[in-house]
């Protein structure tokens, strides 16, 4: 009985190791299908968010179209305040267009936790009152797109 259990464990581990990644890779055609047929071209946009000049992590940035109230993108700053927009693959950017941006700073937000309190007290949350915008031009990647909040 002990021998059979050990064989079972060895075979299970071998299947797990050999099966990891097998058939789970997403290629361009899979991404096109998930996007409803054809993905929009994206432009890389990245930068840093500071609050009163200090780089700040755990700030969520929402991108809203110039007209509309539903966000088309969302990203979150790393501990050093840096961010990059992701639409289909990591840091691939946003489609060309004009966006209004909102910011929420909730450092306690995380898996298994309820959303933390916005430390910016909602000052940058309303897209209709946003003073921050972003213009993404096709074929023109942007770095150092920085925002300083108070």
- Model confidence pLDDT, tens digit, residues 33-52: 555 667 799 999 999 999 99
Read off the tokens for 35.
Answer: 């996007």
CATH tag, 39-149: 2.60.40.10
Q: What are phi and psi of 148, to 5 degrees?
A: -115, 115
Looking at residue 107, what is its pLDDT?
A: 83
User: DSSP states of 23-85 as a string?
Assistant: TT---HHHHHHHTTSSPPPEE-BEEEEEETTEE-SSEEEEEEESS-SS-SEEEE--TTSEEE-
Per domain, the residue ranges of the chain are: 39-149
Instruction: Give the global pTM.
Output: 0.74
Listed as ranges, residues in the chain with pLDDT below 50 are 1-22
Q: What are phi and psi of 2, to 5 degrees?
A: -60, -40
Looking at residue 117, what is its pLDDT?
A: 87
Place of tokens 């096109």: 32
């Amino acid at each position: 009985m002990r021998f059979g259990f050990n064989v079972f464990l060895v075979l299970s581990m071998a299947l797990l190791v050999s099966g990891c990644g097998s058939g789970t890779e997403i290629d361009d055609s899979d991404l096109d299908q998930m996007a409803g047929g054809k993905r929009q071209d994206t432009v890389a946009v990245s930068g840093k968010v500071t609050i009163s000049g200090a780089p700040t992590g755990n700030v969520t940035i929402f991108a809203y179209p110039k007209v509309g109230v539903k966000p088309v993108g969302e990203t979150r700053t790393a501990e050093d305040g840096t961010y990059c927009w992701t639409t289909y693959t990591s840091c691939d950017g946003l489609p060309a267009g004009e966006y209004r941006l909102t910011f929420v700073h909730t450092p306690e937000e995380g898996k298994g936790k309820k959303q933390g309190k916005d430390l910016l007290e909602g000052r940058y949350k309303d897209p209709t009152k946003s003073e921050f915008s972003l213009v993404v031009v096709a074929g023109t990647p942007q770095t150092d797109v920085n925002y300083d909040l108070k």
